[in-house]
Structure formats: C-alpha cells, structure tokens
C-alpha cells in the first residue's frame, strides 16, 4: 500500500470514529472484565466454532450506542475478527429467548383442537433486545455484519417482525452447515 493510500485510510478511519463519537457523545467501546455464563445455545455455537477452527472472541467488549434510557450498550456474543462479509467483521448473536406462540382452541364441527398462533403482544425483553440490535446496526453497521441465530420455531416470525435489526438471520438448527459455508469465505 502506498504511503498516500495509507494516509487516506487513516483519515477515513478518523472521520468514522469522529462520526461515531458525535453520534453517541462518549467513548465508543468499553472493555468489560466481568462476563456472564454462556447459555446452552451459545455453548453449542462455541463448540461448532472450535471444531471449524474459527478465531473468535466471546463477549470481548461492549459497544456504546446512542444515548437514551433503554439501550445504551451492546455486547456481542461472538466476534470473528478474521472473518468478513461485505468487507465487515462478522458478529454472531445467538439468542434463544423470544415471545412464545399463543395457544388457541379452535372448534371444527364437534371437534376441538389447539393451534399455536403469533403472539398478540411481544415480551418487553424481546423489544429491548431488538432495539439494542437496531441501534448497534445504525451506529456500527459500517464495520460489522450482524448474524442473528434463533431457534427454528421462531425464525420466520423474528425475520418478519424485526427487519433491520440484523444483516442475516440463521436458523439455529442449520448452524453447523452455515458455519461450514462461512468458514470457506473467511481467511
């Protein structure tokens, strides 16, 4: 790379970081010492990443987001620093807890049976989580490609209800194949 190209790259990065700081008005990234325990869903993703020999970090740091009452920081679960999609660093966000389907009893003739339908009200935790993902993408989407991994039972609903909160959504049951395909594209 030529010295002038390096200088231009540095200027571009400095402009990016200034834009981020102007937007959130505090340091962009915070490194936490304390981490929580992994869920079973996350442990399964970790196992697959290790088997495929991905370089990854589990909850390496927290990103500050635009200031408001509900979602000031986002801590990604798995960051794959050597893996890029569309020139962006890949983040895997497995999330297993979503609003459950609602059970309804339907009568057809003399028979009654149960069906499960979309929830009429979403859990506030789901809304907070999705809000956090949207803010992350709005602020940091220029550098990171966010892949949300959800259980098969909710994938279609989450995909329809929460467009714009992720770059890609994966079915948790397809993770081994999808990671294998991703591995072929990564350095």
Give pLDDT tens digits for 35-44: 556 678 888 8
Note whether residue 1 is domain-resident.
no
Note whether residue 5 is domain-resident.
no
Determine which of 13-27, 70-84, 139-153, 163-177 has the lowest per-residue pLDDT on average: 13-27
Specify the CATH number for the domain of residue 137.
Answer: 3.40.1350
Number of domains the chain is built from: 1
How far from chain centre, in Å, is Cα 168? Answer: 9
How far from chain centre, in Å, is Cα 52? Answer: 20
Better-scored residue on pLDDT, 68 or 153? 153
What's the whole-model pTM score?
0.73
pLDDT of residue 38: 66
| Nearest-angstrom CA–CA distance, 85 and 74 | 20
SS3 100: coil
Are 19 and 68 contacting, i.e. CB atoms less than 8 angstroms apart? no
Give pLDDT tens digits for 59-115: 888 888 876 655 478 889 999 999 999 899 999 999 877 777 778 888 888 888 887
Note whether residue 121 is domain-resident.
yes
Note whether residue 4 is domain-resident.
no
pLDDT of residue 100: 73
The parent domain of residue 111 ranges over 15-185
pLDDT of residue 69: 54
Better-scored residue on pLDDT, 18 or 138? 138
Note whether residue 8 is domain-resident.
no
Note whether residue 114 is domain-resident.
yes
Are 166 and 156 contacting, i.e. CB atoms less than 8 angstroms apart? no
Determine which of 25-29, 95-99, 162-166 has the lowest per-residue pLDDT on average: 25-29
């Amino acid at each position: 790379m030529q010295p002038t190209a390096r200088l231009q790259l540095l200027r571009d990065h400095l402009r990016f970081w200034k834009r981020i700081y102007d937007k959130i008005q505090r340091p962009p990234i915070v490194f936490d010492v304390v981490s929580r325990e992994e869920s079973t869903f996350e442990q399964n993703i970790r196992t697959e990443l290790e088997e495929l020999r991905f370089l990854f970090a589990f909850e390496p740091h927290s990103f500050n987001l635009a200031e408001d009452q509900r979602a000031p920081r986002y801590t990604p679960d798995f960051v794959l620093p050597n893996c890029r999609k569309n020139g962006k660093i890949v983040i895997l966000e497995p999330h297993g807890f979503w609003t459950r389907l609602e059970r309804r009893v339907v009568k057809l003739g003399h028979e009654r049976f149960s069906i499960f339908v979309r929830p009429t009200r979403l859990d506030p935790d789901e809304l907070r989580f999705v809000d956090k993902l949207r803010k992350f993408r709005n602020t940091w989407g220029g550098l990171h490609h966010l892949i949300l991994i959800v259980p098969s039972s909710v994938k279609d609903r989450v995909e329809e209800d929460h467009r714009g909160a992720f770059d890609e959504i994966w079915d948790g049951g397809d993770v081994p194949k999808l990671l294998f395909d991703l591995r072929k594209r990564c350095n």
